[in-house]
Amino acid sequence: MKTKKILLLKIALGIICFFFIWLKIKDQFSPEKKDLFFSTLNNEDVLLLFISTILLMLPNWLIESYKWKLISSLIEKITFASAVKGVFSGICIGNLTPGRMGEFAGKLIYFKPENRSKITVTHFVCGSTQLFVTVFIGLLSLILFFNKKNTDPQFLFISVIFSLIAFTILFFILFKTNSIYNWISRLKWLKKFQLGTVNYSRKIILLLILLSVIRYFVFSSQYIILLKICGANASYFELFVPVSISFMLMSTIPMISFIEVAVRAGIALVLFANYISNDLLIVSASSALWLINIILPSIIGYFFILSTKIKLKHS
């Protein structure tokens, strides 16, 4: 009976998740946009570039999976295959929550029930390393962006100060994770979860940051290739600056799930208007990146969820 209930829960999850995806695709991929985008894939070289962005989805999420295996092993050792399943399952479930905050729920099902409360916190530590890299590179790019546009020196100075403050805060959070976690775990209303203590070494944090940097250049390359396909006439570095700013904004602006793609498109229109004259192609590049890095992995993740035996309680 319990097995049937879990199966029905999985099916319901799939229906809701893909309904949300369908709503997003319906709004963002109009026939006009699809025709315009696919018309750009009119020769073999351009088509190969597009295929390369799809193939780069794998190293993007496999690096994240290795990060997840690395940090979660401090609580419970899992195989790399389980880490991959957890990351892809998390992407799937993340479609249902604002800012994709629910991704951790997809990862939890691959761990013993008694370890899941600690694993939840571990997910946010792992995510913080990627956010650290995204914000740091984004802020540096923002300074370059303002400087290139001959912005008021006073405004540039304020931007630098803000960048240093933000970087310092993120640096403190990452390298004081153990103290912060142990303080939080002692809060009265959290004691019932028996979070215990953690001990993330600086070596682990630095390794996670290094892997986050590598992953950052993978998914930024995807975006730049898509912009090139859509007609951006600029060098890799010239495009890297606005791409980095867009990633920083998308990572720090709270987004409700069903307007996420619209927010991404709006940011893209502001940042890439000087590189691509056709607004529909700018939106197409942004939407294609979302389709490749979120929707395709979500489909894979749902199949992982269907094939996994889920233990709801500690036996």
Is 312 among the domain residues?
Answer: no
Is 289 among the domain residues?
Answer: yes
User: What pLDDT shows up at residue 251?
Assistant: 81
Is 314 among the domain residues?
Answer: no
Total domains present in the chain:
1
Handedness of CA 35, 37, 38, 42 (dihedral sign): positive
User: What pLDDT shows up at residue 256?
Assistant: 53
Please say whether the beta carbons of 170 and 131 come within 8 A: yes
Digit-by-digit pLDDT tens for the chain (315 residues) are 466 767 777 777 777 777 777 766 666 666 666 676 777 777 778 889 899 999 999 999 999 999 999 999 888 899 999 999 999 999 988 877 766 777 888 888 888 888 887 787 788 788 888 988 998 898 888 888 877 766 566 766 776 777 777 778 877 777 777 777 777 666 666 666 566 666 778 888 899 999 999 999 999 999 999 999 888 888 888 999 999 988 988 887 765 555 566 677 778 888 888 888 888 888 888 888 988 999 899 999 988 988 877 766 654
> What is the rounded distance in angstroms from the CA atom of residue 62 to the CA atom of residue 7?
27
Question: Can you give the pTM of this predicted structure?
Answer: 0.85
User: What pLDDT shows up at residue 1?
Assistant: 45
Query: Which domain, by its residues, includes 108?
Result: 2-306
> What is the rounded distance in angstroms from the CA atom of residue 290 to the CA atom of residue 213?
20
Is 313 among the domain residues?
Answer: no
User: What pLDDT shows up at residue 133?
Assistant: 92
Largest pairwise CA distance in the chain: 68
Q: Phi and psi at residue 49, in whole multiples of 5°? A: -60, -40
Please say whether the beta carbons of 106 and 119 come within 8 A: no
User: What pLDDT shows up at residue 234?
Assistant: 87
User: What pLDDT shows up at residue 20?
Assistant: 72
Radius of gyration of the chain (CA): 21
Residue whose C-alpha is closest to residue 228's, from 53, 70, 93 = 53
> What is the rounded distance in angstroms from the CA atom of residue 273 to the CA atom of residue 301?
34
User: What pLDDT shows up at residue 17?
Assistant: 75
Is 311 among the domain residues?
Answer: no
> What is the rounded distance in angstroms from the CA atom of residue 28 to the CA atom of residue 261?
7
Count CB atoms within 10 A of the CB of residue 214: 12
